[in-house]
Amino acid sequence: MTTPRLFFAFGALCLLIGMAWGIHMSASGDHALSPAHAHLNLVGFVLASIFGGWYALAPTAQDGMLGRIHLVLHAAAVVVMVPGIVFAIQGTGETGAKIGSVLAILSGLMFLVQVLRHPIGRPA
């Protein structure tokens, strides 16, 4: 699968889990974990989809390994950060949220590096 498609697939998975979580929060009336739900939707779905859209626009970025590394880094950020926020809210530790935040900022940094290295469109 191409890098943009993998980003979109990961984003769609986060969206589905995030929306199901939102429906559960609405039905139960317990909104305590809404910051974790918000980060799953925003970092997991919205950011991953923006990254996927950019990789689709910049095909030369799909040729190297850096795009795949970026995808794995971003997915790891979400997978570590979201449960980490749950644990932080529940008062059982902040390590996951801290490590997830560092991974997320590294994913943002890698996006900047990629945007600076690769043009939009394929060079003639």
Contact residues: ligand HEM, CB under 6 A:
18-19, 22-23, 25-26, 31, 34, 37-38, 41-42, 45-46
Closest by alpha carbon to 11, among 75, 107, 68, 72?
Answer: 75
Classify 71 in phi/psi space as left (phi over 0), alpha (psi -120 to 50) or beta: alpha
CB of 4 to ligand HEM, least distance (A): 19
Give the C-alpha separation, 24 to 74, whole Å.
Answer: 26
CB 67 within 8 A of CB 108: no
Which residue in the shown chain puts its C-beta closest to ligand HEM?
22
